[in-house]
C-alpha cells in the first residue's frame, strides 16, 4: 500500500507490506523490500547495506536475486563503509543495467555527484536520517551486547 504527500516541489512517498509474515521480518514497514522485489523482477539490481558477519560494520553490496534480500533487512544505525559502491553502480549503469540504490541522503547525493549526470536506469531511495552512529561507538555497543549475552548464558544456562 502506498501513500503520497506533496507540498511545494517535494513529494514524499510511504508504504508498507500487506503480507503480515513479510512485514514482521522488516523494521520500517517493508517498503524497501517491496520496491526491491519489483526492481529485481524487472531484471534490475539493488544496492543496499548489509551488516558484516560479526555485526561490527555495515557495508554496501549489490544483489541480483530476491533470495539475497534478507541481507538488507534491519536498520543499520552506523556509518556505512562505501568501498567502491559508486564505481560499481556507475559501471552497471554504463553497461545498460538498471540499479535501485538505497542510502541516506548524503550517500545518494554523493552517488549523484560521482555520476556527474542523470542515468535513465538509476532509481534512488533516500532513507530518513537522524545521523548515523560512529563506527567506534557501534563496535563498543556490539562488544557490550556480546559481554552481557555471555554473562547471562552463564547465569541462565
- Contact status, residue 66 vs residue 40, Cβ threshold 8 Å: yes
For the stretch 68-115, pLDDT in tens is 998 998 777 778 889 999 999 999 999 999 999 999 889 999 999 999
Q: How confident is the model at residue 143 (pLDDT cuts 50, 70, 90)?
A: confident
- Ordered by start, the domain boundaries in the chain are 2-155
Residue 56: alpha-carbon gap to chain centroid? 16
Return the exposure string of 84-120: e unless at least 16 CB atoms fall within 10 Å of the residue's CB, then b. ebbebbbebbeeebbbbbbbbeebbeebbeeeeeebe
**Percent share of the chain, pLDDT over 70:** 83
**Is 50 exceeded by the pLDDT of residue 43?**
yes
CA distance linking residue 108 with residue 115, whole number of Å: 11
Beta strands in the chain (DSSP E): 2-7, 10-15, 45-51, 58-63, 80-81, 99-103, 122-126
pLDDT in tens, 108-140: 999 999 999 999 999 999 887 776 777 788 778
Question: Which are the contacts of 87, defined by CB distance < 8 A and separation ≥ 6?
Answer: 114
Q: Which three cell numbers stand for residue 31?
A: 517498503
Q: What is the pLDDT at residue 114?
A: 97
pLDDT of residue 46: 98
Read off the pTM: 0.78
Number of H helices, E strands in the chain: 5, 7
**How far apart, in whole angstroms, are the C-alpha atoms of residue 137 and residue 133?**
7
pLDDT at position 136: 82
Amino acid at each position: 500500500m502506498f501513500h503520497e504527500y506533496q507540498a511545494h516541489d517535494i513529494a514524499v512517498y510511504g508504504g508498507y507490506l500487506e503480507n503480515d509474515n513479510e512485514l514482521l521480518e522488516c523494521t520500517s514497514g517493508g517498503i524497501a523490500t517491496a520496491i526491491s522485489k519489483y526492481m529485481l523482477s524487472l531484471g534490475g539490481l539493488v544496492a543496499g547495506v548489509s551488516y558484516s558477519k560479526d555485526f561490527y560494520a555495515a557495508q554496501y553490496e549489490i544483489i541480483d536475486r530476491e533470495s539475497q534480500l534478507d541481507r538488507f533487512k534491519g536498520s543499520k544505525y552506523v556509518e556505512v563503509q562505501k568501498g567502491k559502491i559508486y564505481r560499481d553502480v556507475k559501471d552497471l549503469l554504463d553497461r545498460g543495467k538498471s540499479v535501485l540504490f538505497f542510502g541516506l541522503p548524503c550517500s545518494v547525493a554523493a552517488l549523484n555527484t560521482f555520476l556527474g549526470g542523470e542515468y535513465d536506469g538509476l532509481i534512488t531511495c533516500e532513507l530518513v536520517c537522524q545521523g548515523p552512529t560512529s563506527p567506534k561507538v557501534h563496535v563498543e555497543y556490539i562488544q557490550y551486547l556480546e559481554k552481557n549475552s555471555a554473562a547471562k548464558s552463564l547465569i541462565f544456562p
